[in-house]
Amino acid sequence: MSPMNENRSTASGGADATKQALAWSHTARFYTTAAQLNQLPAHDLAEIAFVGRSNAGKSTAINTLAQRRQLAFASKTPGRTQHINLFSVGPKDAPDAIWADLPGYGYAAVTRSAKLRWQQVMADYLAVRRNLAVVVQMVDSRHGLTDLDKQLLSFVAPRVANGAVKLLVILTKADKLNRKESDQILRQTQDQLAEMATDESDIQIALFSALKKQGVGEVADILRTWTQNCRPLAFPDEILNQPEAEDLDGSDEAPPLPAP
Ligand code: GDP
């Protein structure tokens, strides 16, 4: 685990904390899905958004964190699951966070207009969603941050810089690297993210392997610690009342939303 700024909050650490964090992430359950931003429910919980290029290993990492086989849908056709899927986390009667699985980006076979539309939805979500407290960006450890990853980060960079949103970059599929390569990509990513770091920012990097179960406890611990440190949001999300991106599936009606 690699904090970018030693002064900021890091994971609480320790075997007990990791166990509790894994118990916490295991509570993740499906809440609702939204085809556009104005379908996202109003709630007062912190949202942890998972983003990444198609095929970066995002669904696998979410399932591994939750210790569930099919929580996040690993699409056979990358780029097809173009919804924001929400999961609630914490006690059943009093969830304490929402995980938001954002559509994977950069899949070559998606049409240019579909790409642009989703880029806009993600840019809007990352730039203005009030509940957004943490962005978890999944990056294939063999490739490191791509231009597209950096572009996506730029949408949320101002909120990371002022500390409103914390950033965790997960270097996935770490089992494919040897020790030297792991050290190298960690350093390189650290250098790139240092450009975003300020006195207020909270940025961490984790090597992760779903296959080897590497980094799972640490990531759960960071997310739980950050969730606990979030200030509760007192007001409904103003996004609900904003006109947003056009409806993708052609239906005008937002689906009824269950309680988190
Ligand atoms: P997504 O499109 O980002 O949701 O990516 P997926 O979770 O569907 O994973 C893409 C591919 O990477 C799949 O073939 C996975 O089996 C593989 N993969 C995911 N995580 C790991 C990992 O930790 N190690 C290895 N070796 N492969 C992985």
DSSP string, 63-76: HHHHT-SSSS---S
- 208 contacts 223 by C-beta, under 8 angstroms: no
Helix (H, G, I), strand (E, B) or coil at 251: coil
* 164-181 pLDDT tens trace: 999 999 999 999 999 999
Residue 23 CA to ligand 1 center (angstroms) comes to: 23
If you average pLDDT over every residue of the chain, what do you get?
84
Pocket of ligand 1 (CB under 6 A): 52, 54-60, 74, 78, 104, 172-173, 175-176, 209-211
- Domains of the chain, by residue range, sit at 4-241
Handedness of CA 245, 125, 121, 236 (dihedral sign): negative
Q: At 36, is the pLDDT very low, low, confident or very high (cuts 50, 70, 90)?
A: confident
Residue 247 CA to ligand 1 center (angstroms) comes to: 30
Q: Which two tokens stand for residue 6?
A: 């030693």
Out of 3.40.50.450, 3.40.50.300, 3.40.1260.10, 3.40.190.10, which CATH number does the structure's domain 4-241 have? 3.40.50.300
In the predicted structure, residue 72 carries a pLDDT above the cut 70: yes
* pLDDT score, position 255: 37
Q: Cα(169)–Cα(190) distance, rounded to whole angstroms?
A: 10
Q: Which two tokens stand for residue 40?
A: 């996202």
Count the helix, strand and coil residues of the chain and give each as a percent rounded to the nearest 5. 35, 20, 45
Ligand 1 mutation target, pool 50, 51, 60, most atoms within 8 A of CB: 60
Ligand 1 atom 8: the closest Cα is on which residue?
A: 74
Q: Is 31 exposed, middle or buried (0-12, 13-18, 19+ CB in 10 A)?
A: buried
Ligand 1 atom 25: the closest Cα is on which residue?
A: 173
The angle formed by the CA atoms of residues 109, 110 and 115, to the nearest 5 degrees, is 140
High-pLDDT (> 90) share of the chain, %:
63
* 178-217 pLDDT tens trace: 999 999 999 999 999 999 999 999 999 999 999 999 999 9
Residue 62 CA to ligand 1 center (angstroms) comes to: 11
β partners of residue 3: 204
- 141 contacts 206 by C-beta, under 8 angstroms: no
| Span 8-18, average pLDDT | 73
- 21 contacts 220 by C-beta, under 8 angstroms: yes
Ligand 1 atom nearest the C-alpha of 75 is: 8
Q: Which residues contact 127 (CB under 8 A, 6 or more apart)?
A: 155, 156, 158, 159
| Span 236-249, average pLDDT | 38
* pLDDT score, position 253: 37
Ligand 1 atom 2: the closest Cα is on which residue?
A: 55
DSSP count for the chain of H helices, then E strands: 6, 8
In the predicted structure, residue 11 carries a pLDDT above the cut 70: no
* pLDDT score, position 256: 39
The angle formed by the CA atoms of residues 86, 87 and 90, to the nearest 5 degrees, is 145
Q: At 3, is the pLDDT very low, low, confident or very high (cuts 50, 70, 90)?
A: low
Residue 55 CA to ligand 1 center (angstroms) comes to: 6
